[in-house]
């Protein structure tokens, strides 16, 4: 099974200046808990943000730079290679933008947290509505006045 996992705001913003635009502990805990035990695939910028959480996880990080090696992850130069390096299941595609887009046709499910706010951002999650149409589960949480909608979506 290949899953995408992401949190986005009302406008599909996911990042700003190489970081998350928000600090929402409940969503971060959900992300760590949900991906534990699987293989995580991510781009170089995501890796740099996530590196301190790498211990005990199977991380596969992507770069086109053939001379580069990630210190706490397997290094891959294409999505195909990244998928072939994964030994744990399920495989979690963890972004960023271009990697999500590339993985849309490959993924079985989308684990999406919708944050009912707007944030400044420079990175967006691609529009998923025509790809992941089937709602598998939905949980709503309110945290400090912000509504979080935890969705698991599948394809028809």
Ligand X SMILES: NC(=O)c1ccc[n+]([C@@H]2O[C@H](COP(=O)([O-])OP(=O)(O)OC[C@H]3O[C@@H](n4cnc5c(N)ncnc54)[C@H](OP(=O)(O)O)[C@@H]3O)[C@@H](O)[C@H]2O)c1
Kindly tell me which of 58 and 125 has the beta carbon lying closer to ligand X: 125
- 46 binding ligand X? (CB under 6 A): yes
Q: Is the N-terminal amide bond of 90 cis, ω within 30° of 0?
A: yes
Tell me, what DSSP letter sits at residue 117? S
d(CA 76, CA 130): 29
Q: For residue 17, what are the CA distances in angstroms to 46, 104, 138?
A: 11, 24, 30
Closest approach, Cβ 138 to ligand X, in A, equals: 18
Q: Does 123 bind ligand X (CB under 6 A)?
A: yes
Angle at 72 between CA 71 and CA 75, to 5 degrees: 75
Q: Which residue sits closest to ligand X, CB atoms considered?
A: 96
Q: Is 49 in the site for ligand X (CB under 6 A)?
A: yes
Least spacing, CB of residue 20 vs ligand X, in Å = 4
91 contacts ligand X (rule: CB under 6 A)? no
Give residues 125-154 in contact with ligand X (rule: CB under 6 A).
Answer: none
Residue 93 binds ligand X, judged by CB under 6 A: no
Q: Which residues lie across from 93 on neighbouring strands?
A: 4, 41
The span of 16-24, 51-59, 133-141, 147-155 binding ligand X (CB under 6 A) equals 16-24
φ, ψ for residue 47, nearest 5 deg: -55, -45
- Cα separation, 103 vs 79, in Å, equals 8
Contact positions vs ligand X (CB under 6 A): 6-7, 14-16, 18-20, 42-46, 49, 62-65, 77-79, 94-99, 102, 123
């Amino acid at each position: 099974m290949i899953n995408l996992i992401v949190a986005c705001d009302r406008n599909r913003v996911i990042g700003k200046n190489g970081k998350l635009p928000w600090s929402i502990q409940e969503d971060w805990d959900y992300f760590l808990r949900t991906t534990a035990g699987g293989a995580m695939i991510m781009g170089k910028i995501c890796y740099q943000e996530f590196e301190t959480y790498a211990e005990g996880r199977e991380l596969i990080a992507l770069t086109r730079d053939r001379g580069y090696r990630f210190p706490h992850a397997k290094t891959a130069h294409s999505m195909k290679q990244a998928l072939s390096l994964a030994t744990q299941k399920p495989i979690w595609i963890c972004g960023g933008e271009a990697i999500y887009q590339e993985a849309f046709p490959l993924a079985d499910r989308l684990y999406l947290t919708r944050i009912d706010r707007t944030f400044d951002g420079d990175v967006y999650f691609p529009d998923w509505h025509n790809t992941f149409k089937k709602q598998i589960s939905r949980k709503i949480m309110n945290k400090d006045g912000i509504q979080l909608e935890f969705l698991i979506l599948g394809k028809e």
